[in-house]
Structure 1
Amino acid sequence: MLMNNAREEEIRTLRIKLADLYREVEVVRQSVPKIKELEEQLEQMTEDIDDERWKVEVLENDLTNPKNPYRWRLIKRTTAGRDFPAETENTMQSVKGTTQASVLTPRIRSGVDGPSDEFLHLQQRCQELEERVNAINERIREKDLILEEVTELSSRLSDQAKTGREFTLALAKQVNSHHSSIRAKTRQMMATVSELSVFQASAIQLQQDVQRLEGLVEEAERLMEQGEAPFLEAEERYLREVEAKRRHASISRRRKEVEAELTAASAGLVTTAEQRPNAYIPDDELGVPKPYGALVPFKPTPTLQSSRFYRGQVEGHQSREAQPRLGNSKVPVDQVSSRRFHAFKGPNHLSVTH
């Protein structure tokens, strides 16, 4: 139970740490600006600047290209009986700014009495185009400044985002490690709970066994106080033990009697067996015999003859001669021959009939 409480306390602590980590991750996410929106705004501004630059380039090419028929026209007009000089017309077609127009104006006035309406219209048109170009250049410079600022901000934000990603990755790894540790602790706790349930079941079973045995002991004590057997098999077991002790005592007694008889027989035994020496006389001055001990001389066994008997030709002839003499007797021939053999052989051939 104490182990289970400790596991629950550890799980609660890990859950609190996990909630703190989630809170830190959420704070970091809120502190990081909206990078995606800023990147989209930067991309839109870059596209606008590219469009404006393209327009300026097109307008500049149209203004500086003398082969463009839509930006100039040839003026053929006479004033006070004089033709308009061609050199002055070509110079007017290549006008780009107010400075060049102011330089050309005295030349035109020196050649004629006064400027024509078309020249004034062209001059006004050039001024308008220059103003438009200047306005477009100002817008381009503003866009460039904005682009530089946005680029700097985006670089800072990208650095912050990279730092935030690294921090978020570290936090995610830590969260994953805590998740894995929580899962491991949960599995371990489940295993501990299962072991605890098994131990509780075994403890209940053992408690029941103890109660049953206590009841048996009380019943046995009560029966013994009454002079009876403590349980049903006690008397039979007691009788078996008494019988076993009696048999053991009788066997021991018989063994002792046999040993006593053997000892008495060996003391007055008369035998024709060859006596084996158990001592030797050393080569010294005293000549006192010494026992062999464990190194008694070995006496080899005599070589035995073959125990199988082969009947010879003479014995076979004698058995055939004895058959008509027997007549109607039912004695087998082998027994007759064997009897003759035993009768013929002496005691020296006893080893053959073993």
Structure 2
Amino acid sequence: MEESFTDPASESRKRDLGGNDPSAPELLKKIEQLEVELVQKEEKLLETDFLYEHICRLTDRIHTTAESRKQDTLLLAKRTNELQKKIKASTQKMMALVAELSMKQALTIKLQQEMRDKEQFFMTVSSRIDQGLPPPKETENEWLKVLRNEKMQRDAAEARAKCAAEEEEAAASGCVHTTAEQRPTAYIPDDNYSLPLPRPYGAHPPFKPSEPSSHMRHFRKPTVKPIEI
């Protein structure tokens, strides 16, 4: 098979292709047609390039605008946050004012009720006095209470004045106000060679033991054993 295909004189070695070869005028016409199509393609390519450049310019302009708007957006966001903080603070302040107003309104209603009660009480007392009757028992109790409070205030003021006077007198004489227990600073000798006059202890006063604390009840007292000689 290889020899039959490599033999140039063999008829089966070649294979004719179908179709006809175009003539020279047909080839020229085909070339002109291809040139026209090439020109059209080039024109379309130029249009595409022009559109591309125009789109690039528009894109750059939009990109520049977007970059500039970012800063505006940031400033707007900051401004919005500040306004929200101010609104929140104003809302809290307004709520506090509303609460305070409610308290004042409740106090006003209470005072108005007390005023009406006092007016009614005054009218009742006035009518009893006009009729020659004594005032109600509640009025007498209230008056005694007022007198008692005034007496207590006077006593307290006198006590404060007395205490202040004592403190001034003590400060003028060089005394020191203390709540400590008084301790003897001198003793009277009991020998036959000294006069019975107070003599200061000096730098070594006698030791005074403190009072036993409450936890000493948990300890048993020692038993003193007699000494045998």
Task: Give the TM-score normalised by structure 2.
Answer: 0.47
Task: Give the TM-score normalised by structure 1.
Answer: 0.33
The structure that has the greater radius of gyration is: 1
